[in-house]
A and B are shown apart, each in its own frame.
Chain A
Amino acid sequence: MALLLRTVARQGLCLSRSQFGVLYRHVVPMGTTANEEMNKFWAKNTRLNRPVSPHISIYKWSIPMMMSISHRGTGVALSSGISAFALAALVLPESYPYYLDLIHSMTFGPQFLAFSKFALAFPVAYHTFNGIRHLAWDLGKGFKIPEVYRSGYIVVALTVLTSIGLAAM
Chain B
Amino acid sequence: MAALVTISSVCYRGVRPLLFRSSSLIRPLAVQKDRDCPYLISAKIHATPSNYAYSGSKAASLHWTGERILSIALLGLAPVAYYYPGPAVDYSLAAALTLHGHWGLGQIVTDYIHGDFKIKMANAGLFLLSTVTFAGLCYFNYHDVGICKAVALLWSK
Q: Which residue of chain B lies nearest to A134 when distances are taken between CB atoms in the complex?
A: B71
Q: Chain A: interface secondary structure?
A: helix
A7–B35 Cα distance when bound, in Å, is 10
Q: Given the complex of chains A and B, what is the CA–CA distance between A42 and B116 in angstroms?
A: 11
Residues of chain A contacted by B43 (CB below 8 angstroms): 22, 24, 26-28
Residues of A within 8 A of B14 (CB): 17
Given that A19-B15, A46-B114, A90-B139 are known contacts, is A7 also in contact with B6, CB under 8 Å in the complex? no
Known A39-B114, A96-B145; contact A7-B153, beta-carbon cutoff 8 A: no
Q: For residues 7 through 46 of chain A, which have their beta carbon under 8 Å from a beta carbon of chain B?
A: 7-8, 10-11, 13, 17-20, 22-31, 33-34, 39, 42-43, 46
| Contacting residues, chain B, for A72 (C-beta < 8 A) | 108
Contacting residues, chain A, for B72 (C-beta < 8 A): 135
- The residue that A128 contacts in the complex, of B11, B46, B75, B105, with Cβ under 8 A, is B75
> A119 an interface residue at 8 Å Cβ cutoff?
no
Among residues 26 to 79 in chain B, which have CB atoms less than 8 Å away from a CB atom of chain A?
34, 36-37, 40-49, 68, 71-72, 75, 78
CA distance A15 to B98 in the complex (A): 54
Cα distance, A43 to B119, chains bound together (Å): 13
How many of B's residues come within 8 Å of A, CB to CB? 56
**What separation, in Å, do the CA atoms of A108 and B75 have in the docked complex?**
34
**Contact B44–A89 (Cβ < 8 Å):** no
Q: Pick the contact of B10: A10, A22, A113, A131 (CB < 8 A).
A: A22
A4 at the interface (CB under 8 A from B): yes
Q: How close is B18's CB to chain A, nearest CB, in angstroms?
A: 8
Q: With A86-B136, A89-B136 as given contacts, are A7 and B145 in contact (CB-CB < 8 Å)?
A: no
Give the docked Cα–Cα distance between A105 and B34 (Å).
87
Q: Is the CB of A24 within 8 A of B68?
A: no
Q: Which of A24, A34, A96 touches B46 (beta carbons < 8 Å)?
A: A34
Contact across chains for B144 and A87 when beta carbons are under 8 A apart = no
